[in-house]
Amino acid sequence: NCAVELLDRAVAAGHGARPALTGARAGANAGADTTWTYAQLLDQVDRIAHVLRGPLGLVPGNRVLLRGANTPLLAAAILAVFKAGLVAVPTMPLLRARELAVIAERARVDAVLCAASLCGELDNVPGVPRPVCFGAPEPGQESLEALMACHDAPFAACDTAAIDVCLIAFTSGTTGVPKGTMHFHRDVLAICDCFPRHTLRAGPDDLFIGTPPLAFTFGLGGLLLFPLRVGAAAVLLEKPTPELLLAAIERHRATVCFTAPTFYRQMAALAPRFDLSSLARTVSAGEALPLATRQAWQDATGLRMIDGIGATEMLHIFIAAAGDDIRPGATGKPVPGYRACILDGAGKPVGPGVVGRLAVKGPTGCRYLADERQRDYVVDGWNLTGDAYEMDADGYFIYRSRTDDMIISAGYNIAGPEVEDALLRHPAVAECGVIGRPDAERGQVVEAHVVLQPGHAPSPELACQLQEFVKAQIAPYKYPRSVVFAQSLPRTQTGKLQRFRLREQGGAA
């Protein structure tokens, strides 16, 4: 049982009095941080496990939908579901009724634990069980804490098998349709023994912090499973913004930070106002790390970014580089435990310098809830990630784009992220997203959606300047023939640009 390995063993080994999780509140309660030790976390987990198996009447294998901002109680609920032999179905706090209905239906959930403030959205979801609410429930809501108060005895963990499913994680939906991926108890432990040990080299004195929701396996690993596995502590931020994250790093003296490239971009600009001297390692994942962002972060903090590609299918990061292995422009090499290769359209490996489809194999590949997906994306234990990658002569893996996002214009293959990277070097550009817009003559044309830095205004002249700026850096045929100025870009809650939404929006200005 993975929860026992992560938590009960630590307490039994005398680690009980060490801090495990700190909840950093937002809004009016800012500053009222609470910290649970390992022993206190175990107590909360056991109480919730009793509630699940007792009053809620659940039996091993039942599925529990979880919903809430990153807080110690949500973390305890996830561990309790594991410990009780149930299956956690964590959902992103920003999901709306329509998306929740799809998840609840596909995962066939038997119970719901939901933060009181987010319960309203569930009223509109047909067929989900009535939620048990936590964190200041309102009159009429069933209160998890009230039920927990009646149980103070230790909970005897369910005797699960290594290959019992404990987690159904849904992808964050860069393409709009969330896909359910099933993971075993042993997978949860496997990720803890790969990236954090070999690449991050985390230890008990680390303090983890970051933004990804616990419902996103990037956050579940980085902010809960990894810290517990190495005996360290984590700070969970309820409503992170770049400023709040920087302030929390300073206040708690965090050493390891996990977030996505967009956050690092904004944090780099604000970093001089904070004391970030405690930070030792920062991890970027979720989407490609532009060179311009890597450089801005390094200039602001002196830290070399650890880039890592992970996927919900694989649970966590499987290609990365840290320290002297870092090669700007490349994601890195397979994390020990994983193998990776690049395949052509027919499934044959290609040589260095050729762009193809990334395939990975390791201790964690998933079972999809949908059979067709399993058939098309998992071949002989190798997971196709949907990414176009290339390997250099030294075996470093270089990201190009999502396979379906590759732009084909007048016969040329153009990777949007390369054009984005060029644009981000321009001082007027804060954020950008580059897509292929259908075009009668060229098939597709490169179109850049650009959010300007404060103090810059959209104009045809600036659009031309940006086009010339790109042509001066990369092969001129890649320049954006169309430039659209935007106030903001559509992103998932996990920080990923939603290119499909840019493609849906009307054409160029």
Of the residues 23, 310, 356, 362, which one makes contact with ligand 3UK according to CB under 6 A: 310
Site string for ligand 3UK, 203-222 (x = CB under 6 A): --------------xx----
| Residue numbers 445-504 binding ligand 3UK by CB under 6 A | 494
Closest CA to 345 of 274, 391, 425, 403: 403
**Is residue 286 a contact residue for ligand 3UK (CB under 6 A)?**
yes
**Is residue 387 a contact residue for ligand 3UK (CB under 6 A)?**
yes
Q: Which stretch binds ligand 3UK (CB under 6 A): 104-112, 143-151, 280-288, 338-346?
A: 280-288
**Is residue 171 a contact residue for ligand 3UK (CB under 6 A)?**
yes
Closest approach of Cβ 294 to ligand 3UK, in Å? 11
List beta partners, residue 348: none
φ, ψ for residue 16, nearest 5 deg: -55, -35
Q: For residues 469 and 426, give the distance between their C-alpha atoms in angstroms, rounded to a whole number.
A: 7
**Is residue 288 a contact residue for ligand 3UK (CB under 6 A)?**
yes
**Is residue 285 a contact residue for ligand 3UK (CB under 6 A)?**
yes
Site string for ligand 3UK, 226-265 (x = CB under 6 A): ----------------------------------------
Q: For residues 410 and 311, give the distance between their C-alpha atoms in angstroms, rounded to a whole number.
A: 32
Q: For residues 33 and 26, give the distance between their C-alpha atoms in angstroms, rounded to a whole number.
A: 9
Of the residues 248, 268, 311, 422, which one makes contact with ligand 3UK according to CB under 6 A: 311
**Is residue 386 a contact residue for ligand 3UK (CB under 6 A)?**
yes
| H or E segment to which residue 40 belongs | helix 38-53
Name which of 131 and 173 has its Cβ closer to ligand 3UK.
173
Site string for ligand 3UK, 328-357 (x = CB under 6 A): ---x--------------------------
**Is residue 307 a contact residue for ligand 3UK (CB under 6 A)?**
yes
CB contact burial 462-488 (16+ within 10 A = b; e otherwise): bbeebbebbeebeeeebbbbbbbbbee
The separation between the first and the last C-alpha atoms of the chain, rounded to the nearest angstrom, is 56
DSSP 423: H
The length of the chain is 509
Closest CA to 76 of 148, 150, 170: 148
**Is residue 287 a contact residue for ligand 3UK (CB under 6 A)?**
yes
Name which of 46 and 421 has its Cβ closer to ligand 3UK.
421
Q: Which stretch binds ligand 3UK (CB under 6 A): 8-16, 23-31, 243-251, 287-295?
A: 287-295
Closest approach of Cβ 240 to ligand 3UK, in Å? 17
Closest approach of Cβ 226 to ligand 3UK, in Å? 11
Q: Assign residue 386 a region (left: φ > 0; alpha: ψ between -120 and 50; beta: otherwise).
A: left
# residues contacting ligand 3UK (CB under 6 A): 24
Q: What's the maximum distance between 2 C-alpha atoms anywhere in the chain?
A: 72
Name which of 38 and 338 has its Cβ closer to ligand 3UK.
338
**Is residue 297 a contact residue for ligand 3UK (CB under 6 A)?**
no
Handedness of CA 117, 120, 125, 129 (dihedral sign): positive
Residue pair 127/100 in contact (Cβ under 8 Å)? The answer is no
Q: Which stretch binds ligand 3UK (CB under 6 A): 153-161, 306-314, 347-355, 473-481?
A: 306-314
Of the residues 316, 400, 449, 491, which one makes contact with ligand 3UK according to CB under 6 A: 316
CB contact burial 55-81 (16+ within 10 A = b; e otherwise): ebebeeebbbbbbbbbbbbbbbbbbbb
Per the structure block, which two tokens stand in for 316?
């966590």
**Residues that bind ligand 3UK in the complex, under the rule CB under 6 A:** 171-172, 217-218, 285-289, 307-312, 316-317, 331, 385-387, 399, 402, 494
